[in-house]
Copies of this chain bind each other. A is one copy, B any other.
Amino acid sequence: MGDIPRSHPRYNSLMGRKLLTEAAADGLLAASALIAHGRGEAFDYLLGEQTCSAARQAIKEAANRLLNAENPVISLNGNAVALAADDLIRCAAVVGCPVEINIYYRTPERMAALLKRLAERKESVAQGEAPEGWSVQHEKRLGDWRAAVEAVEILGEDPDGRIPGLEGPRANCCQNGILGADVVLVPLEDGDRCEALVAMEKQLLVIDLNPMSRTAKTATVTIVDELMRCSPLLLTDLLDGTPNQTEKWENDVNLASCISVMLDSLPQ
């Protein structure tokens, strides 16, 4: 695929496809990751490839919960790294939390490729400008932008714990990451792992384009949105950082709103 002009009406979707196929060629992804991306594309098509207002609320709620957590962590898989590594590292810098690589089809080659890619992106983000909204208040808490980014630990290379009730390598995780966390942000999670983490009484904040998936229905907060599109919005809300006093988060009500956007997009 060649360069995609910013002005293209489907820029985000085409860029996502380009990033994914390049990441596959670089050995960052399992083959099934491309299939999963395509499933997401179809649901995003039904959303009109826009962040709906229910998703916008879910992003705010997720930001609140990350900022109020004791031990938050951002879990990353191959697709998340390919599509939104920079913004998710920025989010971790603002929250002051680690990121942890956790992949379904774990091979030493893929783990090495992902760790290398994340380390490169972290360095690039650290050297880049602070995002809009970064303020003196943030500097007081986290140091300057560069220091805040450099403080983001990248976990996942040496898992020292296991998620109870899960089999296989996807159960492996880090005590000072996912295993010890009270709030986990997981873009693109698998259903079994989501259920196992919720069973551990963690708050699961997930990003999933299919509002009917097991993950979407199991999570504490489900952001039904495309990852490249919602990551900068999450970053904005994290930087904004004024806790939004919602009485109670009703995830099923939010999911129903997302489904009705999809219903409206289908010709009646």
Tell me the residues in window 14-60 of chain A with beta carbons closer than 8 Å to chain B beta carbons. 17, 20-21, 24-25, 31-32, 34-43, 45
**Does the CB pair A41–B35 fall under 8 Å?**
yes
Residues of B within 8 A of A38 (CB): 34-42
Closest residue of chain B to A23 (Cβ to Cβ) is B31
A266 lies within 8 A of chain B by Cβ? yes
At the interface with chain B, which of A66-74, A150-158, A255-263?
A: A255-263
**Partner pick for A35 among B34, B267, B268, CB 8 A cutoff:** B34
A212 lies within 8 A of chain B by Cβ? yes
**Does the CB pair A266–B262 fall under 8 Å?**
yes
Residues of B within 8 A of A236 (CB): none
Residues of B within 8 A of A35 (CB): 17, 20-21, 34-35, 37-38, 41
* Per-residue B-contact encoding for A68-91, CB less than 8 Å = 1, 0 else: 000000000000000000000000
* Main SS class of interface, A: helix
Residues of B within 8 A of A210 (CB): 42, 45
Interface residues on A, range: 20 to 34
**Partner pick for A32 among B21, B31, B39, CB 8 A cutoff:** B21
A26 to B256, CA, bound (A): 42
A20 to B31, CA, bound (A): 9
**Partner pick for A212 among B17, B25, B41, B267, CB 8 A cutoff:** B267
How far apart are A29's CB and chain B's nearest CB, in angstroms? 9
Closest residue of chain B to A268 (Cβ to Cβ) is B263
A71 to B24, CA, bound (A): 41
Residues of B within 8 A of A267 (CB): 212, 256, 259
* Per-residue B-contact encoding for A230-268, CB less than 8 Å = 1, 0 else: 000000000000000000000000001001001100111
Residues of B within 8 A of A24 (CB): 31
Residues of B within 8 A of A45 (CB): 39, 210, 212
Closest residue of chain B to A37 (Cβ to Cβ) is B35
How far apart are A63's CB and chain B's nearest CB, in angstroms? 27
Smallest CB-CB A-B distances: 10 pairs: A38-B38, A42-B42, A34-B34, A35-B38, A21-B31, A38-B39, A39-B42, A39-B41, A34-B35, A24-B31
